[in-house]
Structure formats: structure tokens, C-alpha cells
Amino acid sequence: MKRKSLYKIWLFTIAFFITGNLFAQDTLRVLSYNILEGMKTDTTKGKTVFVNWIKKQNPDILALQECNKFTEESLNQLARSFGHPYSIIVKLKGYPVGLTSKYPILNAEKINETMTHGFIVANVLKYNILVAHLNPHNYEKRREEIGIILHKIKDSNQKKNWILMGDLNSLSPLDRINYADGVYLNRLIENEKKHANHHNLEDGKYLDFEVQQKILDSGLIDAMKSLPTGNDFKSTRIDYIYLSKNLRSSLEHCKFIYDDFTKKHSDHRPILMKLRK
């Protein structure tokens, strides 16, 4: 009798681990992160602190902004160190965006013309990935850039499975209540007095929500706002992950990561999203 009980426990344990692994394999983990000028705060050789943190998050797809001083070769070497054999960078100068993946990156396009930091469009598995970083200092330029991006999506033969993500340097109308106290508006007013090249306020007076409104009007959905935890962020939100509507039912998780590493190593917080494949 005791042997039968132990045998049942053994079978249950094996089944549990097999089932757990199957479920884990059915979830796509997507991470988007502005790493502050090439993760300059990690001065270790090979950026091992950053690498170990990425390993802990275990993303299948990683979208990076501010890949400063990286080359195709050095980004590929870094990506391989955390288990991503595939990578691409949009350009070699300035503040380029990058994309790394556990799975092949196919049909990649690098768009730099008329863009401040460029953007990448590529296919990973069944997904159409777009990684962007919009102009940080001029709201009119941001409006122009998001128009180019949305036109790219609209003109694509692919109408489903889009993931648009990155540092979009703009405010969402879905967060409007967070700015009602005027604190952030006054901060931008003072900032524009100090920096002649900063024009982040519409007509120099108003917070600009048009960039994000254009994305919402295009039919893409704000992944973070599509979940009950959508208001659970602790600072002004300018980093986003957007999805085409057909992926809404697959969305399991989308939140900023707050931990000791992210508190120290960038002025942005990364976003982790989980999708059922």
C-alpha cells in the first residue's frame, strides 16, 4: 500500500513538472528597456551585472533603446551572453535602438531617414515587432515620427500580431488624470526656460497627448492599460508596449519592473510583458 502511494506521488510530481514546462514554453516574455546610453552605469567587463539581470528576467524578445557605442558585433556578443543568438541594431551612431531574441529575427528593416533615433521592424515567430525611440525634445517632431511609424504598420501586408514598443517620449491621454495637479506641466515649463532647444509643450503651454492619441486611434491597444494593474506605475510614463487588437486575449501581464537593479542603472524602468503564444 505504501509503495502504491509513493508511486502515485512520483507520477504526480513528474506530471507537474512536465505540465509546468509546457505552460512555460507557451508564454512569450517580451522586455522593452531604455538602458541609458549603452548601460553606461554597468562598468564591468562584458556588462556582467546587466547580463545577469537579463538572465533573471529571461525574456524571449528584448527591445533596447539607447544602444550607444554598440556595433552589430558587440551587441551580438552581449546578446549571446544572456542566451539570445539573434540581434540587430538600427545604426552605429547617436542613440540607436536594438532588438535581440532567442528566436530568428527575420525580414528586418532599419528605418533611419527623417527619424531622430531610427526604428526597427522585424518578424520574430508569428509576431511583427517594431522597436522605436521618438525625439525627446520636440513634440512636433514626435508627431511626425509616430506618423511615419503608423504609416509603416498600416501599409504592411501584416494586419495582425503587431507589437510596437519603446521609449516614445510622450504622454498618454489614458494617464491624463495623473497630470491634473499641474506638477509635471510646471516642470516642463521650467525646463523649457533653461533649454532653448526643448519644445515639449504644445504652443509652449499645454501637455501634448497627440502622439499617443494617434497610436490609440490607429487601433493598437496599450498593453499596460488593458490589464487591471494598468495604473500601477510610480512615475511619469513615456515607455510603452502596444499590441494589435487580436493579441488582447493573449495578454497575461504587462508592468514596469521596480527592483534594486532598475532603480540604479537607468533613468527609465523596463516593461515586461507576457503573452500566451
Count of domains observed in the chain? 1
Q: What is the pLDDT of residue 113?
A: 97
Distance of CA 65 to the CA centre of its chain: 8
Q: What percent of the chain has pLDDT over 90?
A: 87
Segment 39-96, tens digit of pLDDT: 999 999 999 999 999 999 999 999 999 999 999 999 999 999 999 999 999 999 999 9
Q: For 6-10, 13-17, 31-35, 220-224, which range has the lowest pLDDT when averaged over its residues?
A: 13-17
Q: What is the pLDDT of residues 120-154, one digit of tens each?
A: 999 999 999 999 999 999 999 999 999 999 999 99
Task: In whole angstroms, give the CA distance from residue 116 to residue 112.
Answer: 7
Residue 213 has what pLDDT? 98
CA angle 35, 164, 237 (to 5 degrees): 55
Is the whole model's pTM more than 0.85, yes or no?
Answer: yes
CATH number at residue 94: 3.60.10.10
> Which domain range does residue 11 map to?
2-276
DSSP letter, residue 120:
E
